Amino acid sequence: MDDSVKGCIRVKFLILVVQQNFTSSHLMVQTPKNIAIIGSGLVGSLLAIYLRKQGHSITVFDRRPDIRTVEFSGRSINLAMSNRGWRSLRKVGLEETIKEIAIPMDKRAMHVVDKPMYFQSYGKEGEAIWSISRGILNRKMIDLAEQAGTVFQFNEKVWDVNLPEAKIYTGESEKSEWKEYEFDMIFGCDGAFSRVRHKMQRRSRFDYSQDFIDVGYKELTIPPNADGTHKLDKNSFHIWPRGNFMLIALPNLDGSFTCTLFLPFEGEVSFDNITTEKEAKQFFKTYFPNVRKEIEDLTGDFFRNPTSAMVTMKCYPWTYWNKVALVGDSAHAIVPFYGQGMNAGFEDIFVLNEQIEKFGDDWDAIFEHYQKLRKPNADAIAELSYRNFVEMSSKTADPKFLLQKKIEKRFTERHPEKWIPVYSRVTFSDRPYSEALEIGDRQEAIMKNIMQTPNIEENWDSLEVEEQILSYL
Amino acid sequence: MDDSVKGCIRVKFLILVVQQNFTSSHLMVQTPKNIAIIGSGLVGSLLAIYLRKQGHSITVFDRRPDIRTVEFSGRSINLAMSNRGWRSLRKVGLEETIKEIAIPMDKRAMHVVDKPMYFQSYGKEGEAIWSISRGILNRKMIDLAEQAGTVFQFNEKVWDVNLPEAKIYTGESEKSEWKEYEFDMIFGCDGAFSRVRHKMQRRSRFDYSQDFIDVGYKELTIPPNADGTHKLDKNSFHIWPRGNFMLIALPNLDGSFTCTLFLPFEGEVSFDNITTEKEAKQFFKTYFPNVRKEIEDLTGDFFRNPTSAMVTMKCYPWTYWNKVALVGDSAHAIVPFYGQGMNAGFEDIFVLNEQIEKFGDDWDAIFEHYQKLRKPNADAIAELSYRNFVEMSSKTADPKFLLQKKIEKRFTERHPEKWIPVYSRVTFSDRPYSEALEIGDRQEAIMKNIMQTPNIEENWDSLEVEEQILSYL
């Protein structure tokens, strides 16, 4: 970039700043606080980076060892970073840094039975979701948070929290001697089974629910070719749908793919019924014959890696006075079928930060607005994610459902401004999740009517159907 | 009873036993087990009585002192025992004993604004619900359980449970020295905030929810007249409905009434806005002018007694192997607006006992059938109770709703076999709650159609409307 262009940009930037100060008179500066973050996962480390930018002292506690010093656990699903995640990273200048460890996937690669593999693009030209290994991203985020001046205390287990006084108690076990720490504020970023929330949960008038689905998952690996290249198309999200179970594969930088097998816990074809090497091999031979040869150590992976459960967790309130707040999975854990868990957690931080910029030192207002703004959106993405699970497990074989999707797709192509699919609203937009859910419901109601059209199977691509949809909008 | 009658009864009894052995070949006898029950409330003590009858050794633990030795807490709502409760007591020969401390209420006494008080009978001639003081009943039940050979250990706090080994850990505090007890089996009867369930709850694939309503309640008392008689009709359930809040009063044996004020926590007319004696007096003067003078120590009661919250709690599974089972509120806490909390808990025990009689020593089968049979019914009464809350808070002022109720009532009078109201199905029947909910939904759908009839306000009592309803059945 030559200097004259840089100059231009600088001038533009100044104008923007002036405008901002003009229109919103208070881009508030905060009094530095002494803050504890419980949990050094993705949300905990990004929140640390945000709060360091505001000038606060940050200590992050984690009951586990430093993930940078240990092997990954073999129980993760690769992440698909999309627009909301990127926006949250961009705000603190990290988008490009993280893109270096991510691989864009602009399409699904569908591996259905008795058909050649085919592609379905995710969105418009240039729209993609990005595959990132959870472990690699987490290590990187901790590095970045540390560089920003965050103090990490690993292997320190929080057992109790004094909510009104923002004190935490750590120790070897629940019954051992405990160490007391007092902070100005505590953020619970300790995941779906949050200890911080656990304390809030026993209070009166705290709403809470956890609902497990009857499908579990297991991590498997497709190693790279000998020359380090990928065995499958690397810019695709690979799916092998099989009715009420499926396999997916997301690319890694090292040429490998992280695969996830989603399978019911119980029933005819289920984790319960695959207990021997022979049964595991037979299962893959029957349902995934072409993948089997790519997964080098199939039965090794299968029996070494745990079978994990998936839960939708909702709760409210998310905050306690101006002392404690839940962020990410600790406030709203969702099933992974929309690829939005991390994106939603990162967006929490983005929205929290907007409240910080708006309300400055008024942490009561910050927390109150944060939870009120985020709760309906967390509920919406939970609902959308659960519906995607139901859709994938029971509807993908239904010809009526597939026809409906085909009609919607055609209509979107013809009228891209009039019919933005819910998937795009969730994945490539930063409008509220609750809006995506609401508009999606309206679209669904329209399509229900359309599907009643006589001979829709023959007329689906007709002008009448198109005009019919237009008339409903 | 003279001896010849006794003889008769004995013979009849023998015949019954023979018949029973004839028809159901296995009225199983159980091997005595060493069983712990956590919680000495109504459900815990009745379960102890049932299990003693089966020959088991029973120890009941309670973290609180013996209720027989302390004052009541001033936070209870009087109980309304109905058919399901009585059936469960009858099975172990206690119906008559408990009726001695109960007062039948065969009608609602409605105290609406600007109208003289009027009655609504609950059911048919002879049908009633029975008012019992929770404290008095609980003391009696503990006496009876003790007489049956149950060991009670009061003031012993359970902090942890080893589920697979049926061990419990008690002690002064969570951090103090703990005492370990090992049993063959543990029953968690420790209420909505059960410690036993708490342990199950942290396991994977345990579904759980707690939802608080935004209305709280407070206990108040109408003392007896100087001569010990009741100040209001003693065989009525008194209600003062006031839109989104209400007062109720249930009679006690000593001539007093236990009143409960249900009021939103927040909002214009709410607990939040009654903080001074003056405000409390003004509130009663405005909304309950005729009651105010009956409640002797209104402001004393108001500020001495706590404001309590109400929760719907659902979970699943209710059992762990053949080792641990939840019974009553610990498995399914409901809001009190159908008066079914205790009745549902007692029915759990009745159904559990049916499984015991069916499966004998096969506790795996007993627990599995118990939870599968009870779960849908617990969900149904939770839903019905919540709906009653919504109905009472938002619909009682709606003339359309009142008209619909009037039409249903008239139809029931004319066709008592064709239209049993949901209230009767819940209160005066022992058919499953889930059936009541399902039939209630069907009735509601029919009434929705009926309410669309032109000029229904004028024609509601016509032959056409009656025939219309008949045509839907």
CA-wise closest residue to B189 among B331, B327, B57, B311: B327
The whole-angstrom separation of Cα B194 and Cα B342 is 16
Q: Who's near B312: CB < 8 A, 6+ residues apart?
A: B209, B210, B211, B213, B333, B334, B335, B382, B385, B386
Check CB contact under 8 Å for B205 and A212.
Answer: yes
| Closest Cα in chain A, distance from residue B215 (Å) | 10
**By three-state DSSP, how is residue A97 classified?**
helix
CA distance B256 to B221: 7
Write the DSSP string, A391-450: IIIIITT-HHHHHHHHHHHHHHHH-TTT---HHHHHHS--S-HHHHHHHHHHHHHHHHHH
Share of chain A above pLDDT 90, in %: 81
Four-residue CA torsion sign, A121, A125, A127, A129: positive
SS3 A36: strand
Could you give the C-alpha distances from A367 to A166, A266, A359, B232, in angstroms and in order? 15, 42, 10, 49
- For residue A446, give every residue at least 6 positions away whose Cβ sits within 8 Å of its Cβ, in sequence order, or none: A469, A472, A473
| Residue A121 to chain B, least CA–CA distance (Å) | 35
How far is the first Cα of chain A from the last one, in angstroms, to the nearest whole number?
A: 47
Q: Just give the CATH number of A34-386.
A: 3.50.50.60
Instruction: Reply yes or no on whether the pLDDT at A20 is more than 70.
Output: no
Q: For the CA atoms of B200, B201, B203, B205, what is the dihedral angle to 10 degrees?
A: 110
Average pLDDT score over chain A: 91
- Give the Å distances, CA to CA, from B54 to A139, A235, B122, B405, B413: 59, 67, 36, 46, 44
Q: Given a cut of 50, is residue A19 above it in pLDDT?
A: no
* Average pLDDT score over residue span A308-332: 97
- Euclidean distance between CA atoms B242 and B214, whole angstroms: 16
Closest to A343 (Cα-Cα) out of A253, A248, A433:
A433
Is the minimum CB–CB distance between A172 and chain B shorter than 8 Å? Answer: no
Q: What is the pLDDT of residues A428-471, one digit of tens each?
A: 999 999 999 999 999 999 999 999 999 999 999 999 999 999 99
Chain A residues within an 8 Å CB radius of B206 = 210, 212
Handedness of CA B91, B67, B345, B355 (dihedral sign): negative
Distance CA A178, CA A167 (A): 12
CATH number assigned to the domain covering B79-132+214-309: 3.50.50.60
- For B309, the closest of A204, A212, A265 (CB atoms) is A204
Answer whether B219's CB lies under 8 Å from B297's CB: no
User: Residue B33 in contact with residue B11, Cβ under 8 Å?
Assistant: no
Give pLDDT tens digits for A326-374: 999 999 999 999 999 999 999 999 999 999 999 999 999 999 999 999 9
Residue B65 near residue B398, CB atoms below 8 Å: no
Give A457 to chain B, closest Cα distance, Å: 33
Q: How far is A196 from chain B (nearest CA, A)?
A: 14
* B215 → chain A, closest CA residue: A205
A317 within 8 A of A339, measured Cβ to Cβ: no
Are residues B54 and B145 in contact, defined by beta-carbon separation less than 8 angstroms? no
Instruction: Find how far residue B357's CA is from the centre of its chain.
Output: 25
Per-residue pLDDT of chain B (473 residues; tens, 9 = 90+): 344 444 343 433 443 443 343 344 456 789 999 999 999 999 999 999 999 999 999 999 999 999 999 987 667 789 999 999 999 999 999 999 999 999 999 999 999 888 899 998 888 889 999 999 999 999 999 999 999 999 999 999 999 999 999 999 999 998 899 999 999 999 999 999 999 999 999 888 999 999 999 999 999 999 999 999 999 999 999 999 998 899 999 999 999 999 999 999 999 999 999 999 999 999 999 999 988 888 878 888 899 999 999 999 999 999 999 999 999 999 999 999 999 999 999 999 999 999 999 999 999 999 999 999 999 999 999 999 999 988 877 776 688 988 999 999 999 999 999 999 999 999 999 999 999 999 999 999 999 999 999 999 999 999 999 999 999 98
Q: Report the pLDDT averaged over residues A112-123.
A: 89
Does A15 have pLDDT greater than 70? no
Quick one: pLDDT at residue B12? Answer: 39
**Which of A176, A205, A312, A335 to probe by mutation at the B interface, max B CB count within 10 Å?**
A205
> Which residue from A minimizes the CA distance to B307?
A204
Contact B426, B340 (CB under 8 A): yes
CATH no. for B31-72+134-210+313-397? 3.50.50.60
Return the pLDDT at A397.
Answer: 67
Q: Which amino acid is it at A243?
A: G
- The verdict on A212 touching B (C-beta cutoff 8 Å) is yes
B98: number of CA atoms within 13 Å, CB side? 31
Residue of B nearest to A176 (CA): B175
Query: The tokens of A109 are what?
Result: 């690669």
Pick the closest to residue A367 from A315, A414, A327, A308 (CA basis). Answer: A327
Q: Does A209 touch chain B (CB under 8 A)?
A: yes
Q: Residue A11 above 50 pLDDT? A: no
Number of neighbouring beta carbons within 10 Å of residue B355: 22
Determine, for residues A206 and B193 on separate chains, whether the beta-carbon distance falls below 8 Å: no
B447 burial (CB, 10 Å; 0-12 / 13-18 / 19+) is: middle
Q: Contact B209/A212, CB-based, under 8 Å? A: no
Task: Give one DSSP letter per residue of B44-83, joined into a string.
Answer: HHHHHHHHHHTT-EEEEE-SSPPGGGS---S----EEE-H
- Dist. CA B129–CA B340, nearest whole Å: 11
Given CA atoms A289, A295, A300, A302 in this order, what sign does their dihedral have?
negative
B309 → closest Cβ in A205, A211, A309: A205
- pLDDT score, position A96: 98
Largest CA distance in chain A: 75
Segment A98-120 mean pLDDT: 93
Question: Best interface-test mutation with B: which of A173, A212, A272 has the largest number of B CBs within 10 A?
Answer: A212
**According to CATH, where is 3.50.50.60 located in chain A?**
34-386
